Structure 1
Amino acid sequence: MKIAFRADASLQIGSGHVMRCLTLANELTVRGADCHFICREHPGHLIELIRSQGYTTYSLPYKGSVEADLILNSSVIPDSLAHANWLGVTQEQDAEVCSAILKELQPDWLIADHYGLDARWELALKHLYRHLLVVDDLADRPHACDLLLDQNLGREVADYGSLIPEYCRVLVGPKYALLRPEFAGLREYSLQRRKQSRPRNILITMGGVDQPNATGQVLEALKHCSLPADCQITAVIGGQSPWLHDVSVLAAEMPWRTKVLVNISDMAQRMADSDLAIGAAGSTSWERCCLGVPTLMVVLAENQWPGARALQSSQGAQLVGEVSDIREQLPVLLSKLFIGHGLEKMGRMATQLTDGLGVVQVAGLLKRLFAA
């Protein structure tokens, strides 16, 4: 089974789309699949990371400027899609370059995880692949796919009713979240550990890029919070973040022991060993839920609001708001959580949302449909 992934990372897009595709690729590779990636060289791309994991990666040239990549400007890429400019070129131009690659690969599955692509791109390439899986979070554009995955809480199959063909199968909800296997592997340890622990280890995770410097805002707000004297704070950040130096300086000034970890490979263990996470809403939410980690969420992108609100409604996390809300809201929420059993209840509700085995289910389904 040969599989081609079309996904991008950039300073604006972030790393989440590529990382979840890598997770799926790793599971498929274990099952004997031959996986390849197609990525554009946006500023902040992860092409070398993908290649370091052993995958052939075709790089598409980035013809715009850094400014064009960072600032949504509808005049740059004429398209009706809300995230058209994330592609860096028009869909027609992207399809034209991809067609030569797909003609060479002739994949059994093409997997597209990109807000800048819709049915136009998919149909233009339809004669070059056997099946198409679209990974989406927005339900805001049409697709011509055989299988669609939306791992967000609160999403319903009906949300895609008018956007997909009748034959398309839809997988929705965090039970299908594409989490690396170490999260499911540490689930029991994490759940058992927090039955005895008291809140002292705080983990801050705002994504690899953290373009708005939410990590710095959290550290500033924590200075005004009443935390245990032996509290330990860990901030995880990507090496490509433009705020890495500023965050490191802030960490050194904190009243409590504070570490800054860069490009770590043991995120699951770090989460499992934490008593509270302050993190970005989005796909990493399901990692924390799998491990039962109580979380205060910060919305870093407009498209994260529906899932964040649904997660708060489930009582599996509490919503701080946007980055601009951190300074005022974080101290208030923290003071409430450290009183009574707020952390324990939140973790218990979170763990009911996903067991971390979504990638196993999705990979198994792809293989079954391939063999059918």
Structure 2
Amino acid sequence: MKKVIIRTDASTNIGSGHVMRCLTIAKNLQKQNINVKFWMKELPGHLINFVEHEGFETINSAEKADLYLIDHYNIDEEWEKAHRLFTNKIVVIDDLANRPHDCDLILDQNSLPNFESRYDGLVPQHCIRLLGPKYLIMRDEFIEARLNLKERNNQAERILVFMGGSDPTEETIKILKALSKSKSSFEHIDIVVGNGNIHKEEIKHICLKQGYEYHCQINYMARLMQRADFSIGAGGSTTWERCYVGLPSSSTIVAENQAFTTIHADDLGAVVNLGWHEKVTVEMYVDLLLKLKNGEVDLNQLSKIGLSLTKTVSPNPWIEEILELLI
């Protein structure tokens, strides 16, 4: 049996996105009878228990494997060269294109003006480049949701709020304050947080008090997105998940790696970019809620562009390329 080790981390600072997309890859590999292990550090807000609950063994040091898959902003060419002692092939998942890699395949699913050339000089000549939104990493639930898209009527009655697993900039708290200050009322509001959110108990209490539906560390995000009319979210990989299922949304930039993709997605008309988190106030969220209620946001257009941008010939085409490396 072939063996793959995934090196990634989650924490209150890093967030949960790296681990969640690696789980998607791991489950696709597992379906091909490949033994997958996660190498993770026990950082504050880690998701080691969650990964184990999903059926994967976790380790805390290097082991021999047929392939290493790395999804980590603090790992570069130096680390990768050193770990060639343990593996024949290396796959890197990246968003930043800000450091050199010693890898055999690089996957960057983001849509940017220069996405086809942004890794020039950063990866070896032999490296396979899987770049752009046609290589989106999508869980089965999202693939199924895209096959069963809901009819949209340009009215926002069901609002979904998810500001990332850890939400270190406390956007969820801001939005809850905006909801309490706003004169706009909505039929249903879903509030989603991750285990890494240090305010999750406070958020849960507010939701219970206000009648909002509270969700923590869930595996049914696509179902919530299918039901929602609009999502207030952060930048990053969940931007593409929302676009993939045709859910109109706003994005607040909460980390450096989200800036270029969020700005570009806004330029394309796929999301409403609210800007950098430190400049996004409670009043700005109140204004967004009012515009949604008054029909001042073209939900149908946002949905249409998001769907077009994330169109692929087949779901998760990257899996075949990774499997080729394991032959």
Residue 72 of structure 1 is matched in structure 2 by none
Residue in structure 2 matched with residue 294 of structure 1 by the alignment: 248
Greater relative contact order: 1 or 2 (C-alpha under 8 angstroms, separation 6 or more)?
Answer: 2
Task: Please point out which of 151, 160, 166 is paired with 2:109.
Answer: 151
* Pairing partner for 2:220 from 263, 266, 289: 266
Q: Which residues in structure 2 correspond to 1:216-235 (within 5 Å)?
A: 216-228=173-185, 230-235=186-191
In the superposition, the TM-score normalised over structure 2's length comes to: 0.92
SS at match of 1:204: strand
Normalising by structure 1, report the TM-score: 0.82
In structure 1, the gaps of 5 or more residues are: 60-96
SS of the residue 1:157 aligns to: coil
Q: Structure 2 CA distance, aligned partners of 1:362 and 1:279?
A: 26
SS state of the match for residue 160, structure 1?
coil
Q: Which residue of structure 2 lines up, in the alignment, with residue 207 of structure 1? A: 164
Alignment of 1:103-114 (within 5 A): 107-114=65-72
CA deviation string 1:218-265 (max 9, x = no partner): 11123333424x5211101123321112223333554xx422212222
Q: How big is the shift at 1:308? A: 0.5
Q: 1:364: Cα distance to partner? A: 1.2
**Residues 1-372 of structure 1: matches in 2 within 5 Å?**
1-59=2-60, 97-98=61-62, 101-102=63-64, 107-154=65-112, 155-189=114-148, 191=149, 193-196=150-153, 198-228=155-185, 230-252=186-208, 254=210, 257-324=211-278, 325-337=280-292, 338-339=294-295, 342-355=298-311, 360-371=316-327
Aligned residues: 323
Tell whether the 8 Å contact from 2:38 to 2:59 is kept in structure 1 after alignment. Answer: yes
Aligned residues of 2:244 and 2:310 also touching (Cα < 8 A): yes
> 5+ unaligned residues in a row in structure 2: which ranges?
none
- Closer/same/farther in 2, CA of residues 249 and 202 from structure 1, 3 Å limit: same
Stretches of 4+ aligned residues off by more than 4 angstroms: 355-359
Supply the distance in 2 between the matched residues of 1:176 and 1:21 (Cα, whole angstroms): 14
Q: Which has the larger radius of gyration?
A: 1
Give secondary structure in 1 for the equivalent of 2:206. helix
Moved more, 202-211 or 154-163: 154-163
Aligned 8 A contact 2:242 2:249 in 1: yes
What is the distance in 2 between the residues matched to 1:174 and 1:156?
9
- Kept in 1, the 8 Å contact 2:143–2:315? The answer is no
- Which amino acid counterpart does residue 215 of structure 1 have in structure 2? T
- Greater mean alpha carbon deviation, residues 44-53 or residues 270-279: 44-53
The CA distance in 1 between the partners of 2:244 and 2:312, in whole Å, is 5
Deviation at 1:195, TM superposition (A): 3.0
Deviates more, 1:289-298 or 1:173-182: 173-182
| Structure 1 residue matching 2:118: 3-state secondary structure | helix
- What is the CA-CA distance between 1:196 and the residue it aligns to? 4.5
2: distance between equivalents of 1:196 and 1:334?
A: 17
Q: Are the structure 2 counterparts of residues 357 and 273 from structure 1 closer, same or farther at C-alpha, using a change threshold of 3 Å?
A: farther
Q: SS of 2:91's equivalent?
A: strand
Q: Which moved more, 1:318-327 or 1:26-35?
A: 318-327
